[in-house]
Amino acid sequence: MKAFDSDSQTERSRIVARAVAVTANTALAPQRYERQLLDRYQRGELTIDQVISLLDASTYQVLYHSVAAQPFDEAQLQALLERSRNFNGRHSITGILLYSDGRFVQLLEGDEQQVRQLYARIQQDPRHTQVVTVSEGPGPARRFADWSMGFGRVAGLEVAEALDLVVSQETLPAPEVAEPYLLALLQAFGITPAATQLGQAEKG
């Protein structure tokens, strides 16, 4: 499909390369979702205006926790993840799922209608109960643009502590967190876990 008559593919590639170079190592550096949009622009499938309006579209986010009806074994977790990544990838939903001792924490983000519909289905899923919404609403930008559904297995206590921090918006003291997905979840909510030496956290 041709998006431009005047803009050649070479020109679009140069524009993208320049944008990527200028933003490298800054907070604006394009992540996976943004890269996908830029690739589509490069291929002439999207105009730059379409890319900008997709990037500007505010993201709707849901964070919840729940309890597995029966503990999930490895095969069940993998099946759930495979299904989720497949569906989420096709609907531009990104996020993170943490599992610990029969408890789930999940953050979903994407288009409001898509996220609400998916969350409604997840809430009805008999494989878990006690689904509690921690926060829900529009967010400024994708926090997990890189993951159609990042997955981490964490110690129960860490999840509980992390959720307490997210809910209370507390800044101090944050626990030391080693698990990368949990770390990412905390950072997404502006909580920087304690530096080992200082035992303090900053709110970013």
Ligand X SMILES: Cc1cc2nc3c(=O)[nH]c(=O)nc-3n(C[C@H](O)[C@H](O)[C@H](O)COP(=O)(O)O)c2cc1C
Q: What residues make contact with ligand X under the rule CB under 6 A?
A: 66, 80, 83-84, 87-88, 97, 104, 106, 118, 121-122, 125, 127-128, 149
Nearer to ligand X, 19 or 77 (CB): 77
Cis peptide before 173 (omega within 30 of 0): yes
Residue 77: φ, ψ to 5° = -65, -45
**How many angstroms separate the CA atoms of 54 and 96, rounded?**
21
The distance of closest approach from Cβ of residue 149 to ligand X in the complex, given in angstroms and rounded to an integer, is 5
- Are 124 and 44 in contact by the 8 Å Cβ rule? The answer is no
Nearer to ligand X, 126 or 140 (CB): 126
188: exposed, middle or buried (C-beta count within 10 Å: 0-12, 13-18, 19+)?
A: buried
**How many angstroms separate the CA atoms of 21 and 52, rounded?**
18
The distance of closest approach from Cβ of residue 83 to ligand X in the complex, given in angstroms and rounded to an integer, is 6
Nearer to ligand X, 2 or 90 (CB): 90
- CA-based nearest residue to 83, from 58, 118, 59: 118
Nearer to ligand X, 97 or 166 (CB): 97
The distance of closest approach from Cβ of residue 108 to ligand X in the complex, given in angstroms and rounded to an integer, is 6
